[in-house]
Amino acid sequence: MAVAQPARPAASVRLPSRSPPPPHLFPCEPICVGSSREGRDFTRQLSGPWPGCIGHLGLAGPRSEQEQAAGEHALNTINLALDAAWRFAGMPADYYRDWLRVAAEEALHFDLLRQHLRSLGRDYGDFDAHDGLWTTVERTSQDVLARMALVPRTLEARGLDATPPMQDRLCRAGDLRAVEILAIILRDEVGHVAIGNHWYRWLCQRDGLDPVQTYDRLAREHHAPRLRGPFNVEARLAAGFTPIEVDALTRAQLPERRCSQRRQLPTLSRNSAVVIPSPIPDL
C-alpha cells in the first residue's frame, strides 16, 4: 500500500495471495495511522469523479479516458482491499484471506486494462486521476462495520451498475476487447461486493444489529452519497443484497428514474466476435 507507482503494487500484491497467508500476518492490535492515503499516486492531479461518470467508471470523454477510469477504479480497489485487511484487528482469519484475494483479483483487472490501453497507444497516467473513493475510506478508518457498509456495499457496488452501460458504449465504438475485459471485471466484482455483504452481515449478527436500520444510520453519519439508478438488479442480488434492500433502492428514486433493471447487452454466441471468458482459477 505504501508504493505510489501503480504497476508495483499491482505486481507485488499477487505474490502473497497465491497461498494462504500465515496467521502471524494478521493484525492482532488496532493499527494507528494518520491517513488512509498511503500508496496514492500524487504525481498526477487528483480530483473527484469526473463529470458525467456513473459510479466509479467514467462514461464521459473519449474511449481511452473511459478505460483509464476503469483502471483507476481497479488500482484504487487494490488499496481498498489491502487497507481493509491490515487496518482492522480482531476479525476471523477468513476476513483477511478474503480481502487479500480481492486485492489480487483487482491487480489482474488493472493489468488487463493497462495492457489494453497500451495497445491503443495510451497508458495509465496519461489523464488526471480521480480520488473520490478515499474520502469515505478515511471517514470509516476507525470502524470496520462502517467500512463494510459504505465501501464495498455502497461505493464498489456502483461498479455493478456502471459496467453494463460502459460495455454497451464500448461495443458500439467497436472496442470488443474492452468489452471482454469488463465482463471479467463484472464477474469478479460480484464476488467482491458479496464479500463486503458477508462481513457486514456477520458484524451485524455479532453485535445484535438490524442490517437495514444500521446501514441507514451509518449512511447518514458518514455522509454516504445518495445512490441513483438504474441499478443492475441481477448482479446486486447475486452479490448478496436482499430483495428488500434492492426494492428500497429502486423506490428511493425520483419517479422518472425508477427503473429496477438495466438494459442488458445481447447474449453472444460462440460464433460472435466477443466471447465472454469462463471463470479464471483462483489466484
Q: What DSSP string runs through the chain?
A: ----STHHHHHHTHHHHSSPPPGGGS-SSPPP-S-S-TT--TTS-EESSPTT-BTTB--SS-HHHHHHHHHHHHHHHHHHHHHHHHH--S--HHHHHHHHHHHHHHHHHHHHHHHHHHHTT--TTSS-EE-THHHHHHHTTT-HHHHHHHIIIIIITHHHHHHHHHHHHHHHTT-HHHHHHHHHHHHHHHHHHHHHHHHHHHHHHHHT--HHHHHHHHHHHTTPPPP-S--BHHHHHHTT--HHHHHHHHHTS-GGG--SBPPPPPP--TTSS--PPPPPPP-
- Answer whether residue 107 shows pLDDT above 70: yes
In the chain, pLDDT over 90 holds for what percent of residues? Answer: 49
Taking residue 59's Cβ as centre, other Cβ atoms within 10 Å add up to: 17
User: What's the pLDDT tens digit per position in 147-177?
Assistant: 999 999 999 999 999 999 999 999 999 999 9
- Answer whether residue 36 shows pLDDT above 80: no
Instruction: Assess whether the previous peptide bond of 9 is cis (omega < 30° from 0).
Output: no
**Cα-based torsion angle of the residue sequence 274, 193, 87, 215 in order, rounded to the nearest 10 degrees:** 150
Provide the pLDDT confidence category of residue 69 given band limits of 50, 70 and 90: low
Residues 6+ apart with CB under 8 A from 237: 243, 246
pLDDT value, residue 70? 64
- Answer whether residue 67 shows pLDDT above 80: no
pLDDT value, residue 44? 45
CA 216 to chain centre: 21
pLDDT value, residue 251? 85
User: Please, what are the domains in the chain?
Assistant: 7-18+48-257 (1.20.1260.10)
